[in-house]
Structure 1
Amino acid sequence: MIKKLIIFCSILFAFQSMVFAQIGNVKSLNIGEIRTIRSKILNEDRILNIYLPQGFDKTKSYPVIYLLDGSINEDFIHVSGLVQFFNQMYSMPETIIVGIANIDRKRDFTFHTDLKDLQKDYPTTGHSDKFITFLEKELEPYIESQFKTTDKYLFGQSLGGLLATEILLKKPEMFNHYFIISPSLWWDDESLLRQAGQLLAKSPDTKKFVYISVGKGEHPVMIKDAEELYDVVKKSNKKNWTLEYKMMETDNHATILHRSLYEGLVRLFPYQEPK
């Protein structure tokens, strides 16, 4: 009996040692930083999810992607993975991603409307002007004070695509590369789309990459508006703008973002065979 007890205790001790050894090997997996900044313009704290390339070197300069809908439970993680893949397999340089976590995207991504039905459905609407000022006057200077940066990208889908379009048309100098996915240009009875030609006529013809896409399975109005945006930008005849348009044949509004960003990045950074 004593012999059996000793054997049992030995087995239990060995099992506990193995478990403790396994627990002792657990470490955190970090892909970046979470920062909180205070915005005087918005009068609130804003959370930034920041992806830093593997082997990040604070003495080096990096492009920066500003990702709308950049909360952890929205688009930050899968977009970070996509960019890391393009760093490895394509000609895309290592890039910092700044995911801007949402508080009220309907408030931040839409401009004022007098349409009563929209005011009813979106009671906090109409403050994109403040959010754009926050991006321009607070967020970009903050990021540039913390990291050495080069080109600036803006990724936006749906209402985020509406905001990205508004910035492209009204303050195009804020970013070098625009990825506008399924933009909600139906907002305010398509008023921004109607102003697009006039606004583009005032835009400087400086080097820029503009990628617009929409899913074939989306509402016909979404498809029509995306195509019209592409047409009006094309007709503006900006010689230094590289303009791309992609109809995503198998996607709808819910599924388009990841695959569309992939297609847009391929056009900007085509695959190159290793030397």
Structure 2
Amino acid sequence: MTDSRYLKRTIIKEEIESEFLGEKRYLRVYLPPGYNEIISYPVVYCQDGEEFFNFGRIATHANQLILDEGIDPFIIVGVEVNTTIRTEEYAPFGNRFEAYTSCFTEEIIPFIEQKYPVRREPGERILAGDSLGATVSLHLALKRPDLFAKIISLSGAYYEPSLKLLAQETDLAALSLFMIVGLQEQNYTTDTGTYNFVELNRKAKALLEERGAKVTYFEKDGKHLWGFWQQELPDALIHFLK
């Protein structure tokens, strides 16, 4: 049974009016136990924010790590997405990709930094995503190394356009990734086709390491599902926050 202390979570719902997207975008903000506005905190930004909270149970994991595992308190920001246009926003070939990544860096980050005491160094911001959410996290870090240096990649959807963009990079020594992929993801069908996610992640890992990025990489028994990723989230958070 889950300890009741882990379930006492402070989660605030926010909304911003995005000029880039021409619509409202909703955020969920987790505040750690003992939250104090005069203290500054590392921050984890999650794509698919609703799923990270509902299916990844990231707030419950965070409470457990902070209360029992000695991890310093941190803030989590979940950025919600409309699943019907998710590929258009998260994939570099999507027609809303530029608008979404601009919204993220020019609107969401400043909004959070103005309202909450989060740290502003690249090493204190962590981007987290599953599948295409991991992909857009990597592209955000490639576009804005001044903002982002750490990525949690859960079964990243590193399709050919992303691998090509990655191959064009020369120096990624400042970048650090925690990557995991499930061994039962070798024939997974998405809205754009059927892919071998294990092979895609191996290719991305090789390209990243050739360019100096620090990659912690795992292949484990698992499917392209939150049931797999949820179990891996605590280790991913500990990796960057311990």
Q: Same fold (TM over 0.5)?
A: yes
Query: Is the aligned partner of 1:97 residue 2:76?
Result: yes
Radius of gyration: which is bigger?
Answer: 1
Secondary structure of the 2:146 match is helix
* Post-superposition offset of 1:171: 2.6
**Does 1:233 find its partner at 2:205?**
no
**2:149 is equivalent to residue 179 of structure 1:** no
Taking every aligned residue pair, what percent have the same amino acid on both sides? 22
Question: What's 2:193 paired with?
Answer: none
- Where structure 2 has 5 or more consecutive residues not aligned to the other structure, the ranges are 1-7, 188-195
Q: Is the 8 A contact 2:9 2:30 kept in 1?
A: no
Determine if contact 2:171/2:211 at 8 Å carries over to the other structure. Answer: no
Q: Aligned runs of 1:34-113 on 2, under 5 Å?
A: 34-71=13-50, 74-77=51-54, 78-103=57-82, 104-112=85-93
Distance 1:62 1:76 in 2: 19
> Is the alpha carbon distance of 1:30 and 1:232 closer, same or farther for their aligned partners in structure 2, counting shifts above 3 Å?
closer
Q: CA deviation at 1:139?
A: 0.5
Q: CA deviation at 1:215?
A: 0.4
Kindly state the Cα deviation for residue 260 of structure 1 after the two structures are TM-superposed. 2.3
Q: Tell me the C-alpha RMSD between the 2 structures.
A: 1.9
Report the CA distance shift for 1:195/1:162 in structure 2 as closer, same or farther (over 3 A).
same
Does the 8 Å CA contact 2:18/2:25 hold for their aligned counterparts? yes
Tell me the equivalent position of 1:26. none
State TM-score, norm by structure 1: 0.73
2:53 is matched by which residue type in structure 1? F
Ranked by relative contact order (alpha carbons within 8 Å, sequence separation 6 or more), the top structure is 2
Would you say how many aligned residue pairs link Structure 1 and Structure 2? 218
SS for the counterpart of 1:261 is: helix
Show structure 1 runs of 5+ residues with no match: 1-28, 113-124, 271-275
Letter in 2 for 1:127: R
> 2-side partners of 1:153 and 1:246: how far apart?
19
User: Structure 1 counterpart of 2:42, which letter?
Assistant: P
TM-score normalised according to structure 2 size: 0.83
Give the aligned residue type for 2:87: K
